[in-house]
A and B are shown apart, each in its own frame.
Chain A
Amino acid sequence: ETGVTQSPTHLIKTRGQQVTLRCSSQSGHNTVSWYQQALGQGPQFIFQYYREEENGRGNFPPRFSGLQFPNYSSELNVNALELDDSALYLCASSLNMGLKETQYFGPGTRLLVL
């Protein structure tokens, strides 16, 4: 519905592994934000990318990293996975231009770390 897509939808990893999650932004949007949502909690801001540069970061360790590509799609990489990284990972796209900065979310990727 929002035009924001994420892949994969579900993923199971083991502790210590690395994972890459992908997000395609809505057409015309140049900004992607990533959020982590633990069970029963509201989403927590991880970081944001604007024109391929990191444009703000939340309270997450450096093993959470990201990329944005020239077509504005984005990746979230998590190294050395821990059990507490099990969560729903959400990306949101927006157009960084004055009053049109509403963020639209994708369906999320559910990550389970065993």
Chain B
Amino acid sequence: DAKTTQPTSMDCAEGRAANLPCNHSTISGNEYVYWYRQIHSQGPQYIIHGLKNNETNEMASLIITEDRKSSTLILPHATLRDTAVYYCIVKVIQGAQKLVFGQGTRLTINP
């Protein structure tokens, strides 16, 4: 599985959009980009995933660059409850299913 690079920490004001970048320059054609988040001491929560098109769901939007070497997770209106560690993971969709977690980005939403 390709490796990802994320900033260690980020801050965002409550009510503003939080944009979390991820670099995955060695991603292969059959690897998807997944985002999870983990609120303190809880299990990771699935947010969204995509292959090459932008994706949106009720939690967030995922923007993947055309060359697929980087992506951005967007939380459109951040709340205090969005404070968490956010993990960007690339994974082959079939076959080996293990998720390889890095250190993630610690996002703090400030009032």
Contacts and interface: CB of A to CB of B under 8 A. Distances in A.
Given A43-B44, A88-B41, A105-B44, A99 B93 contact: yes
Contacts of B49: 102
B98 A42 contact: no
Interface stretch (B12-20, B73-81, B101-109): B101-109
Interface stretch (A12-20, A72-80, A90-98): A90-98
B93 A101 contact: yes
Contacts, number: 64
A66 interface: no
Nearest to B48: A102
Interface residues of A, number: 31
Contact of B97 (A31, A106, A108): A31
A15 B94 CA distance: 38
Interface string A1-16: 1101000000000000
B98 A48 contact: yes
Nearest to B45: A105
A24 interface: no
Contact of A45 (B34, B42, B100, B102): B100
Counting contact residues on chain B (CB < 8 A from A), the size range is 20 to 34
Nearest to A105: B43
A92 B97 CA distance: 11
Interface string A34-56: 01000001111100100000011
A109 to B, nearest CB: 10
Contacts of A88: 41
Contacts of A104: 46
Given A1-B45, A101-B93, A102-B49, 11 more contacts: A2-B43, A33-B98, A41-B103, A42-B87, A42-B104, A43-B99, A48-B97, A102-B34, A103-B97, A104-B46, A107-B42
7 contacts: A35-B99, A35-B101, A42-B102, A42-B103, A45-B99, A103-B97, A105-B46
Instruction: Enumerate the 10 nearest inter-chain pairs by beta-carbon distance, A residue then B residue, closest first.
Output: A42-B101, A105-B43, A45-B98, A105-B44, A43-B101, A107-B43, A108-B43, A106-B43, A90-B43, A56-B96
